[in-house]
Amino acid sequence: MNLNQVTIPVTDMPQACSFYLRMGFKQIVDSPHYARFACPVGQSTFSLALTDEAANNPSVIYFEHEQLDGWVRELTDKGFEFEQMPTDMHYLWREAVLHDPSGNKIKLYWAGENRLNPPWRVNKTV
């Protein structure tokens, strides 16, 4: 089994598409009510669905990048505003936080080995 994608709500499709294109994602589906993007590395995708009302979306979308600090600098130079610059977190990830134009929370992070194998990992034999 593999996770296919996550879809997040947006209130302005052209503005949201521009935001994610400027971040470096490749748009693979474009319609007035739906857009889908591929990550530059790997096979992960995510999509945007147009909504009439601002959604209070409590979900957080995470994008991983080994050169996190450099990526955040590049985005800052492009005019992206961050709520939190890259910070070492107590759960052993380094992450930065920003929001897309519809208010969806995005965390850019690097966790290295701790992403799948944190010291507190539960090991079970299936």
pLDDT in tens, the chain (126 residues): 888 889 999 999 999 999 999 999 999 999 999 999 999 998 999 999 999 877 678 899 999 999 999 999 999 999 999 999 999 999 999 999 999 999 999 999 999 999 999 999 998 554
The C-alpha atoms of residue 86 and residue 84 are separated, in whole angstroms, by 7
* pTM score: 0.91
The C-alpha atoms of residue 47 and residue 32 are separated, in whole angstroms, by 13
* Residue in 42, 34, 33, 48 with CA at minimum distance from that of residue 3: 42
Instruction: Report, at the CATH architecture level, how domain 7-115 is classified.
Output: Roll (3.10)
Residue pair 55/67 in contact by the 8 Å Cβ criterion:
no
Residue pair 115/62 in contact by the 8 Å Cβ criterion:
no
